[in-house]
Amino acid sequence: MSRSIEVAVFPVAGLGTRFLPATKAVPKEMLPVVDRPVIQYAVDEAKEAGITEFVFVTSRGKSEIEDHFDHHTELYETLERRQKAAALEDARSADLPVGSYALVRQPEPLGLGHAVWCARHVVGDRPFAVLLPDELFRGRPGVLKQMVDAHSRLGGAIVAVREVPKDLTDRYGIIDVETDDGTAASVKGLVEKPAPAEAPSNLSIVGRYILPPDVFAYLDRHETGAGGEIQLTDAMARLLGDHPFHGLRFTGDRFDCGDKAQFVAANLVLALDRPDLADKVRDRIKAHI
Ligand code: UTP
């Protein structure tokens, strides 16, 4: 029986250059999909998976994120006085329990591996989850819950994977598969952004991970990899051999909300799923498609 996963790390210290000018003053994780910032979907997914401690790796200009998850006494009192019960419930839906979240700073965007390393003292000697909050996942159960369930069976490291077109492997971290039962693939190698001819498979790692704390020992070395960044993939590759390591094909959808086209698509797809919005959205855009 593997140790349960209590703590999740949310790296939010990137620059969001693909989404300028929106991200000049607003963190990309705070851009709303329908009516909540994209990071709230990841936090809700983590809560559903049983996570009780939340660590945000932030940087300059990201203070809106901590405000979003904090209790907003003044707003709640005003809504209560005005008897706006539904609005009050919506506002409070983002609150995290007092003392359940921590913020650590990444002073420079040196790479995802470095961002995760910045959370090492808060995580301590426990297995932990990493959720990239600009990737919005929809699944039933949620994708992190699917991974936590797999972790309780398989232990070790679990990364969410999905198939990508063979000619696009140079955009992703790709796994080299040892055995595959169609859902969980046992991993024997990891390559960051391989050229299509060199890619060992077409299974790409996406933004949900469960990792043993040993990964911090490798991140401590601050070795740079693809793009001159400290890559999480490279540190994860060092775990192979010492820990079971699986890629999990999840059921559900994924939208990379750091990409403009996918962000717009996420807004439409999620709005069309909402009984209070679907007809109005469909009627309004009919003339344009
Ligand atoms: P991305 O590469 O998607 O984010 O990193 P980015 O760098 O902000 O975006 P672009 O490419 O410039 O548009 C994946 C995740 O890792 C975090 C990002 O905030 C994002 O959630 N990250 C990345 C960090 O926290 N620190 C880093 O040094 C790099």
Q: Report the atom number in ligand 1 closest to the C-alpha of 108.
A: 28
Ligand 1 centroid from CA 237, angstroms: 20
Q: Report the atom number in ligand 1 closest to the C-alpha of 110.
A: 28
Q: How many C-beta neighbours within 10 Å does residue 189 have?
A: 14
Residue 134: per-residue pLDDT: 96
Which residue among 132, 171, 256 is best mutated to probe the pocket of ligand 1, counting the most ligand atoms within 8 A of its Cβ? Answer: 132
Residue 226: per-residue pLDDT: 80
Q: Is the CB of 13 under 6 A from ligand 1?
A: yes
Protein fold of 7-258:
Spore Coat Polysaccharide Biosynthesis Protein SpsA; Chain A (3.90.550)
Listed by start position, the domains of the chain span: 7-258
- Measuring CA to CA, which residue among 217, 178, 172, 164 is closest to residue 191? 172
- Measuring CA to CA, which residue among 145, 195, 194, 175 is closest to residue 239? 175
pTM here? 0.95
Residue 192: per-residue pLDDT: 86
Residue 45: per-residue pLDDT: 98
Give residues with Cβ within 8 angstroms of 4, minimum separation 6. Answer: 50, 148, 152
Q: Is the CB of 57 under 6 A from ligand 1?
A: yes
Ligand 1 centroid from CA 258, angstroms: 9
Q: Is the CB of 173 under 6 A from ligand 1?
A: no
Q: d(Cα 132, Cα 257) in Å, to the nearest integer?
A: 10
Residue 271: per-residue pLDDT: 98
**Which amino acid would we find at residue 270?**
L
Q: Is the CB of 94 under 6 A from ligand 1?
A: no
Exposure letters 240-274 (e unless 16+ CB within 10 A, then b): beebbbbbbbbeeebbbbbeeebbeebbebbbeee
Give residues with Cβ within 8 angstroms of 221, minimum separation 6. Answer: none
Residue 13: per-residue pLDDT: 95
Per-residue pLDDT in tens (0 to 9) along the chain, 289 residues: 578 999 999 999 998 899 999 999 899 999 999 999 999 999 999 999 999 999 999 999 898 999 999 999 999 999 999 999 999 999 999 999 999 999 999 999 999 999 999 999 999 999 999 999 999 999 999 999 999 999 999 999 999 999 999 999 999 999 999 999 989 999 999 998 899 999 999 999 999 999 999 999 999 998 888 888 999 999 999 999 999 999 999 999 999 999 999 999 999 999 999 999 999 999 999 988 7
Residue 276: per-residue pLDDT: 96
